[in-house]
Copies of this chain bind each other. A is one copy, B any other.
Amino acid sequence: MPTSGRRARERASTRERIIEAALHILENEGTTALTIRRIATDVEYSAPVVYQHFANKDALVLELVGHGHRLMTAELQQAATEPAIDRRLMLLASEYVRFAGDHPHLYQIMNGDAVDADERQRAAAPTIDVLKDLLTAWSDAHDVVLTDFDEACEIIWGTLYGIASLGHLGTVGNDRARRLAQQALQTLLRGWRTAARPERA
């Protein structure tokens, strides 16, 4: 059956085209424009074809969430060229918030509740690992032993998420949000440094 290979390739190809079309619509026109019929129209198929590749809309969205996290992780790792560990952490904060501002709709579904907690956590894990690596390097460089490493990670993660959301939701502008994220992270790190070493003489 030589054709079955081609068929499988075609299947995978249209599946990919669907994802790309969905991503394009999402980024350019937002979540309300992201409908099954609209996606189908863009890939020049009828709506039910989409269901041959994805069980339902949530499954398709989950794919976009995964894509978003991979994209984000790639951009964050790009900041790994910076030699100074402190600046690298500042860059992480800045780039995280920038990503939320550059891809507002993608960021929105990445953190919305359309996908359930487990899936989201699994999708976000590689990105969090980047943070863990950096924080480990930082704590080594400064000889700071964090009383609870995971807790510190979650705090930073939550802080970045919250401040990025401030920018994303329009409470503050994106530039300001990036500045806030840097200041917040810097302040947190300073706090942990002085927690390890007694604060005053």
List residues of chain A with CB under 8 Å of any chain B CB: 108, 111, 113, 116-117, 120-121, 151, 154-155, 157-163, 165-166, 169-172, 179-180, 183-184, 186-195, 197, 199-201
Contacts and interface: CB of A to CB of B under 8 A. Distances in A.
A184 B158 CA distance: 9
Task: Give the dominant DSSP class at A's interface.
Answer: helix
A165 B200 CA distance: 34
Contacts of A166: 154, 157-158, 161
B199 A201 contact: no
B180 A155 contact: yes
B158 A162 contact: yes
| Most B CB within 10 A of own CB, among A157, A159, A188, A192 | A159
A112 to B, nearest CB: 9
Nearest to A163: B158
A169 B199 contact: no
Contact of A192 (B120, B180, B187): B187
| Most B CB within 10 A of own CB, among A116, A166, A171, A199 | A171
A165 B161 contact: yes
Nearest to A176: B154
A169 B163 CA distance: 16
B169 A154 contact: no
A25 to B, nearest CB: 17
A71 to B, nearest CB: 20
Contacts of A179: 151
19 contacts: A117-B171, A120-B169, A121-B171, A151-B183, A154-B180, A157-B166, A158-B165, A158-B184, A159-B184, A161-B165, A162-B162, A187-B188, A187-B191, A188-B191, A189-B191, A190-B194, A190-B195, A194-B194, A197-B200
